[in-house]
Amino acid sequence: MANNHPIGLFDSGIGGISIYNEIKKTLPLENTIYIADNLNAPYGKKNEEEIIQLSIKNTQKLLDLGCKLIVVACNTATTNAIEVLREKFNIPIVGIEPSIKPAMLKTKTNNIGVLATEKTLSSNLFQKTSSRFSKGINIHEQIGFDLVRIIEENGINDELLKIEIIKQTEEVNFKNIKSAKVLVRF
């Protein structure tokens, strides 16, 4: 039985709704609060200090609302601010693990394509995770221009996203990638 204190989640917009939905499905008795920081979206175009300050503000708001646990449902906020949040707040804080780790652990072709915001790709956490698990694996990075905007304007529209992802990945030389599974995390 869940206690009255909710699980708090935040994202720069609505992309983290997929994580919210999984939490509700897995923990149906838990109360939840979701902050979509649309006013400041997208975080991927902000500098690291701005991302950290926005993440602190969102975390503090969720704590003020009585949350017992915080889920950073945003790749950009996780990769740029999770360590600061964990140092600053004495509460469990869960972030989105950079998707590159499970991809590198499961690759059969030793080639991984990554489509993410510029701030995610340049973050210390992403770089640290990439170098830790990338022995013998080629990582092909592409900034996901306009994906956040498309999602914020249209919701999670699979057909529209598929067209845009194909367009953006064709611009990158993903040679030796014979097949791909797309894992979208924002």
Amino acid at 176: N
Same domain flag for 64 and 136: no
Does the residue 149 lie in any domain? yes
Residue 178, in any domain of the structure: no
Write the CATH number for 83.
3.40.50.1860
Which residues, including other chains, have CB under 8 Å from residue 56's CB and lie 6 or more apart?
81, 84, 85, 88
Residue 37 located in a structural domain: yes
| Residue 3, pLDDT score | 67
Give the residue numbers spanning the domain of 24: 7-95
Walk along the chain (186 residues) and give the pLDDT tens digit of each residue.
456 899 999 999 888 888 999 999 999 999 999 999 999 988 888 999 999 999 999 999 999 999 999 999 998 899 899 999 999 999 999 998 767 778 888 888 888 888 777 877 887 878 887 887 778 888 888 887 777 777 767 766 677 777 777 777 776 555 444 444 444 443
From edge to edge, which strands make up the β-sheet containing 69-72?
32-36, 7-11, 69-72, 93-95
Last residue of a domain, one of 95, 110, 132: 95
pLDDT given at position 173: 55
Q: How many domains is the chain partitioned into structurally?
A: 2
Query: Is the whole model's pTM more than 0.85, yes or no?
Result: no
Structure confidence at residue 59 (pLDDT): 98
pLDDT of residue 2: 53
Claim to verify: residue 104 and residue 89 sit in the same structural domain:
no
Answer with the one of 65, 95, 125 that is the final residue of a domain: 95
